[in-house]
Structure formats: C-alpha cells, structure tokens
Amino acid sequence: MTLDSDILLTGATGNVGRELLALLDAYDASVRALVRDPGTARLPDGVDLVTGDLSAPGGLEDAVRGCGTVFLVWPFLTAEHAPAVLDVFTRHARRIVYVSSAAVTDPPTRPQSDPITQLHADMEQLIEKSGLEWTFLRADTLASNARGWSAQIRAARTVRGPDIAPTAVVHERDVAAVAALALTGEGHAGARHVLTGPEVLSRADQVWLIGEASGSPARFEPVPVAVARERMLADGRPPALVEALLAATGRPASDLVTSTVEDLTGSPARTFRSWAEEHAELFR
C-alpha cells in the first residue's frame, strides 16, 4: 500500500520501533523517525530522522507537519506532557496508533492495578478525547524485556529480582507486525488490539528457556521487594521508576492468551522459546 502522507514514528530506537522500521519498508511507507539526537540514534542508513522530544511539545511542530499518521510509544511515567503533544499531533495528523498495555482493565476510567497500567489507561483516555482516529495496541509483557537479564545470566546463570504474575509474553516483532498493519491499512479505527504470545510464562520459565537456548542452564531466584528496591536504587535508577516497576509485582494473575496476532497477520504468535533462540548470544 502507498500512503498519501508520512508516518511519524516515535520510539524508533526501541525494540518494537526497530522491528517496525524494517517492516514498514515492505509497505512502501514514507516514515520519519523522531529522535532526540540523530547522532546517537544508530538507525539504518536511509531512515529519515527528525529531531524532537516528547517532553518538549513546542518543538514538535516541524517534525509532525506533513504526517497523516503517528505511531506513539510514551516513554514517561506520567501523562504530564501528553495533552500538549496530542494537540500538536491533532493539528497535522488524522490517526494515531498507541502502544498500550494488556494489563489495562475496562473501562479505563476505573482505577488500575499499578502506576504503569494507570498511565496507559490515562493515555488511552486522552487520545480518545483528542479527535484523532485511534488504534490501541494493548501488548502483554514484551519478550525483549528479558534483555535486562543478560548481564546476570552471563555472570552467574542466575537472575535475582522481584517476581511478578506469569503472563503470555509477546515477541516484539509480533507487536510491530500488527502496528504496521494498523499504520498502513484501514479497518483498525477504534480497535483495542490485545496482543499476547501463545503461552503464559513465569519469569522462572523465561529464564529456564533462555538457559536452554544459550546452551547452559539458568534459573530465576525471586527476592523480596525491599531487597529489590535497595538494589535498583543502588544501580542508579530514578526512585519514581523503581517504585513503578516494583508496583507491578502486585498485578493480579492472568491466564489471558489471545489469537489477535494470528487473526490480523495470518501467522501464529511467536513463542518466547523462539525469541530466546534468536537472541541466545546475548546470554552466553
């Protein structure tokens, strides 16, 4: 499909964004990648980079001018700048595809289980009120989050951290595949696509699969929240981020598995085992 206007891609340097950039090339889509510093973006040659920062909405006007569609990954813990950002988008774009969370419960106006889920619910409400034609990609836990365990696994074959309820971990390439369809095609307006992997996995399951894929056993060792907080703060993480991440340990258990990825793309959702095999070198 050839689009009559550009797509503005936020989060282009992230795990989903990089996969999405590669996929959109096959759709003959004209894409602009919004980056804060083009010199450090490390995106493929030929990608049209535009400078901008979602925390500074006043500087986004030139970046979005001429773009009919926006792909939005919100990188903050609050929706503080979102109304101003959406105002800019609304002046130029027709539709928006937003990466939300499968943990959001409906109606999104109700209190959510933790600050990160609450943020996504708040963002959904703001986008609905913006006047843009919207699509929400409610993604479950991204497989790429496991990259954060690589140093521990390489060093000691053990991941020590707070445990959370098992979820149907979804491959970031599947999220990108659905995003590409929503960005370039019709029929997704007003949709809340809930994207999961094919099986519910605990953190222990994920670490075990990484060990299998990388050729040496690995295990997950849960630690108390208080211990995890101390370690995360010692690593230099901002206190607000630490508290938001730890609050996710209180999310209720879920056995949610959807067929949305296959229904929309025609291909079954990828397994976490396949992700671990693709990225085995990270953990050796």
Position 7, amino acid? I
Number of structural domains found in the chain: 1
Looking at residue 186, which CATH number applies to its domain?
3.40.50.720
Q: Is residue 281 part of a domain?
A: no
* Paired residues of 160 in beta bridges: 221
pLDDT tens for the chain, 284 residues long, are 445 579 999 999 999 999 999 999 888 889 999 999 988 988 988 889 999 999 999 999 999 999 999 999 999 999 999 999 999 999 999 999 999 999 999 887 888 988 999 999 999 999 999 999 999 999 999 999 999 999 999 999 999 999 999 999 999 999 999 999 999 999 999 999 999 999 999 999 999 999 999 999 999 999 999 999 998 999 899 999 999 889 888 888 889 999 999 999 999 999 999 999 999 999 99
Q: Is residue 218 part of a domain?
A: no
Question: What is the domain extent for residue 114?
Answer: 6-140+171-195
Contact between 113 and 251 under an 8 Å Cβ cutoff? The reply is yes
Contact between 117 and 79 under an 8 Å Cβ cutoff? The reply is no
Q: Is residue 235 part of a domain?
A: no
Cβ count near 100 (within 10 Å): 25
Tokens of 19: 């996969």
CA angle in degrees (0–180, nearest 5) for 66-1-19: 80
At 68 the pLDDT is 95
Whose tokens are 């149907």? That residue is 168
Q: Is residue 15 part of a domain?
A: yes
Q: Is residue 101 part of a domain?
A: yes
Q: Is residue 126 part of a domain?
A: yes
Contact between 209 and 225 under an 8 Å Cβ cutoff? The reply is no
Q: Is residue 68 part of a domain?
A: yes
Tokens of 180: 């590409």
